Structure 1
Amino acid sequence: MKRDMEPQSSLDAWLELIRRQDMPIFDQTVQRIIALSSDDRAPMSDLADVILHDSSMTARVLKLANSILYNPSTNGINTITRAVIVLGFNAVRNICLTLTLIDTLVQGAAKERLGRELGRAMHAAVQARSLAAARGDKSPEEVFIATLLYRIGELAFWCFGGEQADRVEQLASQQGLTQEQAQERVLGFRLSQLSRQLVQEWHLSQLLQDATQYPTRQDPRIQNVMLGHQIARCAEEHGWQSDAMSKLFTKAAKLAELSPEKTKALLLQKARAAIDVATDFGAAFAAPHIPQPYPETAVPEAARSADSSAPAATASLAEASNRDPEFQAKVLRELSAVLEGSACSFNVIMELVLEGIFRGVGVDRVVFALTTPDKSVIKAKYALGADDDALSERFAFKRPSRGQDVLFQTLDHKHPYLVESTTRPADAAISERLTELTKATAFMVAPIVVENRSIGLFYADRSLTNRPLDAASFDDFKHFVHQASMGLTRASVRRHQ
């Protein structure tokens, strides 16, 4: 490219250069993920299937899904399907896009200027996401990715710019020009124009397109994106104790509808969290460029505990909530899509039903157990809850030699039960071992029936939080178990066709 090119032709030349650099939009996995995200009818399982075909992406998505940013509770996420259900379609989509973006940048000439630019973008995105969550935004993840990619043209330029990138840097440092002025002198256009063109060409989120086109629009989501960048840039250029930053604290408090004290504590805490986020995403080279307000040994208590006032922070048992009809409907729609699809996966059905009971019905623990062919033993196969590993390992029972046990009666009679301290099935005992293992004064149990045979059961309780089980929760529980039976029956019939 020559210096005397017309600005528009120079911009077109740069667009063509980036098209040839295997930027994220041209990655096959990301292309398929973006295509799915534009289809409102696409089931979550389709997204999981795309990711599972990329083993490297699968491992990294699971690592991030279990990071403090996405999963502050102690309940591990060990499958892609569960990651999509728990974190949401948009969050997993954005994780994939971010991972691929950083992979591309790391493969380029990762110079000092790229590290600073990426560090600022990651810091801005984390700050914007935290403020979006604090004000109850419908999708903090969309705000995160829009903020991260807001300066995608700058990121691409510093990665692939070569000699022209060196010239821009020299002009800005030696002749007292701003970065924008240096860009115009060397390139004939500003990199913000390149960002706008790339965002439009790649058909990224509407929020990102609006933010690059109308950055001053008085829309809280756009202002959220812009404020994230203003905070990151001010921390870099003026520091956390500057008057300019104090004004941004006030602006952020107004946007998030938090007190000035809580807002400041939140932003200071997120500055430190941004380092971990950058490292988790594979951008460790950018982490040193994220300005920190305090040395590691001198973090104020208010900043350390800022997440306690943020909606995203949860205690280990907070994940167990009350009934959530909206989440139930979401999982049931996904189940319907899976059942109507050509492939009816046992594992996918079980994960969806477990998640629907755990989060939608709102229980503390849920177990899916299978029985042996002679129905003499019941053994857990999957479990969800704070102590899921221990429960899954120890939930194993032998049929009593005499009398009837509530678990085996559930299998034999193909009948669900809500067992409370004052009510239990006639002629059915609750074994001491079950009581010792679950410590549940009340629990729900229902059989899985496939082609008129009981193959296992679901067990659920709220014993960890001591919340009662009511008739509505029991009805929801039975409905999810019935859906599991239907799905497995359909899968069995298809296998025999």
Structure 2
Amino acid sequence: MPDSNQLKVIRDDLLASIGEDANVPALGVAVAKVVQLASSDDEAVRNLAYFIMSDVGLAQKILRVANAACFRTNTGTPVTTISKAIFMLGFDTVKTCALGMLLVDKLSGNRAASVRAELTHALSASIFGRELSRRGQYKDAEEAAVAALFRNMGRVLLASHGHALYEQIDNMISEGVAPHQAVLRVLGCSFEMLAQSVMAEWEMPESIVQAQQPLPAGTLRPPRNRQEWVQQVAAFSSAAAELVAQGGGTPEAHAALLTRFGKALEVDQDSLQQWMETVTEEVDVVAGQAKLFRPAAKSGQNSAPTVQRSGELAGKEDALAGLLLADEAQEAAQIVERHPSGKPVNARELLMAGVQDAMEMMASGRCKLNDLLMLALETLYRGMGFRFATVCLKDVRTNHYRARIALGENNAARQAGFAFPVSDARDLFQLAMSNDADLLISDASEPKIRDLIPLWHRALLPDARSFIVLPLVVQKKPLGFFYADRALPALEGVPSDETGMIKMLKGQVVAALNTPPR
């Protein structure tokens, strides 16, 4: 067995290897951004949607997960926007799913079988954590699901950046050495300490870092405070995920888990069984979209090997296919072809899906105006293929229209500059607002159009060649407008069926603006 100095060298080399991986710093920045979002923050849903939509691959995976059978709504209509996915699945579900996808994208390339097995364990743990956090007594309880996701980070990092050490530990466990003893003999520290050191580098919230601390042995007492609760949820979730990896575990394993955590977290056999079924179904969907598999068993458990044979993987893919919406339903969510302007050929279908999403959101009785604005903006942005889109609302204090939400290219800078005073000037924007007239400009370079474009717009968006302005007018009072543009003319125009969908979408927002808050 190496002495303390040798173990320190081993740990330092491992941490150096992790630090030298170009993917890890970028992962740390992305993870920190998402983790800091709290569901109680009014801007959180918007910021989470921004983050996901900025990564096309991540957005596609989240949409496919949202369209899985286990998340499908009663209407059966496909989910085509990230805003609807967040509204339907819940903020915490999409947040932890996005975090899991980020980990997979950046870490699953090395030593695929073992790393992906550990990442699948982490995804399973996050779903257990989410289920427990929904029953939690604390505000922003989804933090526990995030802590559960990272509970396995030590094993993930070792599998991806120190695979020989990972195999050495697993071999010792297979020979009967206790897991914590095996890790100490090889690394001189616990997996939790390894994870904490890296998470601290990522500037993760201290409560999540501290939640990785090991718990006392034996039956646990009810948590005395929020931090203890998060720590217990993370530990329970990781232990329960271990049972999922074994195909559900034995009755004895269930009893042992409940003996340790049942009283502290108020979990009984019925709850555990229900969660096991939920996690098993959902992790198959999420892992399938992340190009992972749910391992039959993890090392040291004297059961089937982690690496599945090709036939077993094919069976898993067949099972996954049954969980997803039919191909024709999925196609409604996909942009299959574009006009030269960038506008999707199937714009009508994409707009119709957005209108249906807005109707469902409003009918739910829990629709917030900001959520509806975001969904409508995302529908216009994606459905019409714009490069920039924003919602502007009137600031009654300054008598200016200001951009409140923006999507697309350079959205932050353009949102900051997108403001102008209310006036009687005869430009496109003031005329649209005063007449409540929807403007669909196919080619802004035409002289009669160009002469009506105000100076502030020419300075901010000099290359805008096609754009729309959709006033939001309630009881003859202009409150704001949607604006979206492209850098190319839209010579294909906007046919009447698409125009009708756009007006319906705008009408839903106007109706919400006209509804007194409850």
**TM-score range, shorter-chain basis?**
0.5 to 0.7
Does residue 182 of the first structure (1) align with residue 182 of the second (2)? yes
Contact 1:65/1:87, CA 8 A, preserved across alignment: yes
What is aligned with 2:210?
210
Contact 2:122/2:149, CA 8 A, preserved across alignment: yes
Q: Give the secondary-structure state (helix, strand or coil) at the position aligned to 1:108.
A: coil
How far is 1:278 from its partner? 4.2
How far is 1:89 from its partner? 5.9
Unaligned runs of 5+ residues in structure 1 are 297-315, 349-370, 378-410, 417-445, 462-473, 481-497
What is aligned with 2:124?
123
C-alpha distance 207-333 of structure 1, shift in aligned 2 (>3 A): farther
* Separation in 1, partners of 2:283, 2:260: 24
Q: Which amino acid aligns with 1:224?
A: V
How far is 1:107 from its partner? 0.4
C-alpha distance 344-266 of structure 1, shift in aligned 2 (>3 A): same
1:95 to 94, 97, 101: 97
C-alpha distance 181-330 of structure 1, shift in aligned 2 (>3 A): same
C-alpha distance 110-164 of structure 1, shift in aligned 2 (>3 A): same
How far is 1:55 from its partner? 2.1
What is aligned with 2:257?
248
Does residue 227 of the first structure (1) align with residue 236 of the second (2)? yes
* Separation in 2, partners of 1:70, 1:200: 34
| Paired residue total | 353
C-alpha distance 255-281 of structure 1, shift in aligned 2 (>3 A): farther
List aligned pairs for 1:50-69, cutoff 5 A. 50-67=51-68
TM-score, normalization by structure 2: 0.53
Q: Give the secondary-structure state (helix, strand or coil) at the position aligned to 1:107.
A: coil
Q: Give the secondary-structure state (helix, strand or coil) at the position aligned to 1:284.
A: coil
Contact 1:131/1:252, CA 8 A, preserved across alignment: no
Does residue 279 of the first structure (1) align with residue 287 of the second (2)? yes
Q: Which amino acid aligns with 2:284?
A: D
Q: Which amino acid aligns with 1:182?
A: A
Q: Give the secondary-structure state (helix, strand or coil) at the position aligned to 2:278.
A: helix
Contact 1:133/1:140, CA 8 A, preserved across alignment: yes
* Separation in 2, partners of 1:69, 1:184: 41
How far is 1:18 from its partner? 0.7
Contact 1:183/1:191, CA 8 A, preserved across alignment: yes
How far is 1:199 from its partner? 1.8
List aligned pairs for 1:72-471, cutoff 5 A. 74=76, 76-83=78-85, 91-111=93-113, 113-135=114-136, 138-139=139-140, 141-174=142-175, 176-213=176-213, 215=215, 218=224, 219-234=228-243, 240-249=249-258, 254=263, 257=266, 260=268, 262-289=270-297, 320-322=363-365, 327-328=368-369, 339=393, 415=475
Contact 1:252/1:263, CA 8 A, preserved across alignment: no
Q: Which amino acid aligns with 1:103?
A: D
* Separation in 1, partners of 2:60, 2:503: 31
Identical pairs, percent: 20
How far is 1:24 from its partner? 4.7
Unaligned runs of 5+ residues in structure 2 are 217-222, 304-314, 316-358, 378-389, 396-400, 409-431, 439-470, 483-501
Contact 1:64/1:281, CA 8 A, preserved across alignment: yes
C-alpha distance 6-239 of structure 1, shift in aligned 2 (>3 A): same
* Separation in 1, partners of 2:122, 2:86: 25
C-alpha distance 343-220 of structure 1, shift in aligned 2 (>3 A): same
How far is 1:344 from its partner? 5.9
